[in-house]
Amino acid sequence: MLLGKINEGMTAWNYAAYRENLKLLNEIWKFAKEKLTTEELINKILLGTDYKGRTVWHWAAEKGNLKLLHKIWQRAQEKLTTDEINNKLLLGTDSEGRTAWQLAAKECKLEIVQKVWEWAEEKLTKEEMNNELLLSTDNKKKTDWHLAAEKGNFKVINKMWDWAKEKLTTEEIKNKLLLGTDSVGMTAWHLTTKMYNLEILQKVRVWAKLTTEEINFY
Hey, where are the domains in the chain? 1-124, 137-218
pLDDT of 41 reads: 92
| CA angle, residues 163, 169, 171, in degrees to nearest 5 | 120
State pTM to two decimals: 0.89
pLDDT of 7 reads: 66
| CA angle, residues 166, 170, 176, in degrees to nearest 5 | 95
- pLDDT, one tens digit per residue, over 165-217 is 999 998 999 899 888 999 999 988 888 877 667 777 777 777 777 545 544 54
Superfamily of 1-124 according to CATH: Ankyrin repeat-containing domain (1.25.40.20)
CA 40 – CA 42 distance, rounded (Å):
5
Domains 1-124 and 137-218 agree in fold? yes
Q: How far apart are the first and last CA of the chain?
A: 55
Mean pLDDT across the chain: 89
Name residues of the chain where pLDDT drops below 50: 211, 214-215, 217-218
CATH of domain 137-218: 1.25.40
The angle that helices 66-79 and 56-63 make with each other, rounded to 10 degrees, is 160
Q: How many C-beta atoms lie closer than 10 Å to residue 214's C-beta?
A: 12
Which amino acid would we find at residue 90?
A: L
pLDDT of 23 reads: 93
CA 47 – CA 166 distance, rounded (Å):
31
